[in-house]
Amino acid sequence: MKPNKPDTVIQLHQLRFHSYLSATDIQERVRQIGAELAEQLRGETPLYLVMLKGAFVFASDLIRATGLNGEVDFVRTSSYVGTVSSRRIKLLLPPDPELVRDRHVILIEDIVDSGYTMQHFLPELRKLRPASVTLVTLLHKPEATKVPVEIDYVGFSIPDKFVVGYGLDYNGLGRQLPAIYQLVEEMI
Ligand code: IMP
Ligand code: MG
């Protein structure tokens, strides 16, 4: 057992967050998932499909951890308003159909929360006829599920509390943090 380090508290806009997953623990988990993907897709040239903006930090570490010789493309959807998930998912930047067709796609997401984003996006992706889709998410909030999503690799299952850092933001801030921080729920 590691000794518990005291919490670090940070403030973004008007909200406070305390340290939750350390940079070391995240890096260790990313290495494990990378090794499993390398094993699963050995000899293939996958397409890494990165969900912008939140997944860009996780993706950059994960892609290097797999050591697979793949191509990269980006997708952007939008749904979040402040700290609340919305049902209205917009596909702001679709994937390149030519890159997806007949490829083993590793879809990289920062967090699966309500599931609405993946419920909307996965059928769109399948229309482009990939050879397979492997969904990898760094974080999953099982208690927040509104629609079930089949996830192949989950970094960490976490409670239904808003988090920032390692690519995830609160109204634009916090993406650069190497660790993950959880919202401090204060009585106001
Ligand atoms: P879903 O559609 O509710 O599953 O949410 C997916 C998207 O909402 C993620 O890709 C994130 O961009 C965003 N999101 C969900 N939960 C959080 C959070 O705790 N912090 C920051 N962004 C989040
Ligand atoms: Mg996202």
Average pLDDT score over residue span 2-18: 88
Distance 110 CA to ligand 2 centre (A): 6
Task: Please give the Cα distance from 112 to 145 (Å, whole number).
Answer: 8
Atom 9 (ligand 1) nearest CA? 111
Q: Check: CB of residue 46 under 8 Å from CB of residue 104.
A: yes
pLDDT at 93: 96
pLDDT in tens, 93-129: 999 999 999 999 999 999 999 999 999 999 999 999 9
Q: Which of these is catalytic: 61, 73, 113, 160?
A: 113
Atom 11 (ligand 1) nearest CA? 111
Q: Which residue has the tokens 């007949």?
A: 102
**Quick check: CB of 168 below 6 Å from ligand 1?**
yes
Task: Please give the Cα distance from 9 to 20 (Å, whole number).
Answer: 10
Q: How far is CA 54 from the centre of its chain?
A: 7
Letter for the amino acid at 144? A
Average pLDDT score over residue span 160-171: 97
